[in-house]
Amino acid sequence: RESRRLTRLINDVLDIAKMEAGRVEWHMAETDLSGVIQSAVAATSALAEEKNLPIQVTLPPEGLPPVWGDRDRLIQVMTNLLSNAIKFTDRGQIEVRGWRLTVEGETFRCTGPFPLPYEPASEIQETFTGLHFSDGEWVVVSVVDTGIGIPDEDLPRVFEKFTQVGDTLTEKPRGTGLGLSICREIIEHHGGRIWARSRLGLGSTFSFALPLEAVPPPDRVGPAAWSPSTTAQPVTAHSPLIATPALPTRKRKHTILVADDEANIRRMLRQELSEAGYRVIEAADGAEALAQARQQQPDLIVLDVMMPGVSGFDVTSALKADERTQKIPIVILSIVEDRERGLRLGADAYLTKPVDTVRLLKVVETLIATRGPE
């Protein structure tokens, strides 16, 4: 457990360092937020199931409009928010709500599943105080939990780096302290706003808003101003709630083995690869990956390096030395840049985490096409 936490910490440090240095490659395009939400729910559902926490998704009947954004990075935001909600909730449920916000001067109109819990109408305007929304249409996604809540004195600091709320003298840290900071970096790059509301003992709501204008955002957007506003913001809410339907699956042609000891990573990769038309089988460690590869003879293997017992490098070496499996393309995923070693052992591609699924899908498609029919 501690080794996994260290792995996540290294991953997050690398991620935020790239963002602050402006070295992140963004893939901005028209993006379906409903798909983003469902991918994140799929990636975190195993965590929720372990605690018997249902995840409910509610959207307005007309759904959510598309936004201009990086789909993978927005999935990363949603996954972080859902993971946090699950970690700090022991009973009740997690709910994802999507709604539209129209801003006209000092008037805010909301359409969809709003208001949020524990916020009476007289206090709703506080949600928007100091966020400085520009006039226009916005889409808002909120992750609502019924967890322990956040003390008032900690709430302003939750998006700062290496910040963990709660009594650190009596509780072991349950995260890297970077996840919410990364979320803020991503949302601000999109020209959006991100904020949190909480009531101790009742739960927390983390929300982000993205502008609906489908135009490329500036290279860098500064933090939202947090100066208090003295003007009340009238809010109206309407429209019933509906559950989002499951995404249709496509015809599957080739089989891909995904080997990673992190269940949420496997689930996320299964979701992405299945939607792209592949049949996916899984392995939770190196030994299982070797057995699955030899028995199932997949068309391609996506392999994590840092697995307990038999590492990804050891799996690669063994498979490439075995006549039965040496022709199967292997894509290595790792938080550590050790491309030379991976390729020397016979890997066909080496990608660093966090996973860029757009690039991964292109690599998978190319390798399978290059391999051709058996």
What would the mean pLDDT of 33-50 be, rounded to a whole number?
88
What would the mean pLDDT of 22-44 be, rounded to a whole number?
85
Q: Residue 257: in which H helix or E strand, if any?
A: strand 255-259
pLDDT on residue 175: 44
Sequence letter at residue 110: C
Q: Any alpha helices (H) in the chain, and if so which ranges? A: 2-20, 33-50, 71-87, 179-189, 263-275, 286-296, 312-321, 339-344, 357-371
DSSP annotation of 326 = T
Which of 29, 37, 84 is CA-nearest to residue 57?
37
Quick: pLDDT tens for 173-199: 444 445 788 888 889 888 899 998 888
Q: Are 67 and 214 in contact (CB under 8 A)?
A: yes
The CATH T-level fold of domain 2-243 is Heat Shock Protein 90 (3.30.565)
The domain spans of the chain are 2-243, 255-371
Quick: pLDDT tens for 208-267: 999 986 444 444 333 333 222 222 233 333 333 333 333 333 344 699 999 998 888 888
Query: What is the spatial distance between Cα 211 and Cα 221, in angstroms, rounded to a whole number?
Result: 13
pTM greater than the 0.85 cutoff: no
pLDDT on residue 21: 58
Quick: pLDDT tens for 3-12: 444 444 445 5
Quick: pLDDT tens for 271-282: 889 888 899 999
pLDDT on residue 243: 36
Query: What is the spatial distance between Cα 129 and Cα 99, in angstroms, rounded to a whole number?
Result: 18
pLDDT on residue 373: 56
User: To which residue do tokens 């801003």 refer?
Assistant: 103
What would the mean pLDDT of 142-166 be, rounded to a whole number?
78
What are the tokens at 227? 């100066």
Q: Are 183 and 159 in contact (CB under 8 A)?
A: yes
pLDDT on residue 221: 37
What are the tokens at 201? 């003992």
Query: What is the spatial distance between Cα 302 and Cα 292, in angstroms, rounded to a whole number?
Result: 12
CATH number of the domain located at residue range(s) 255-371 in this protein: 3.40.50.2300
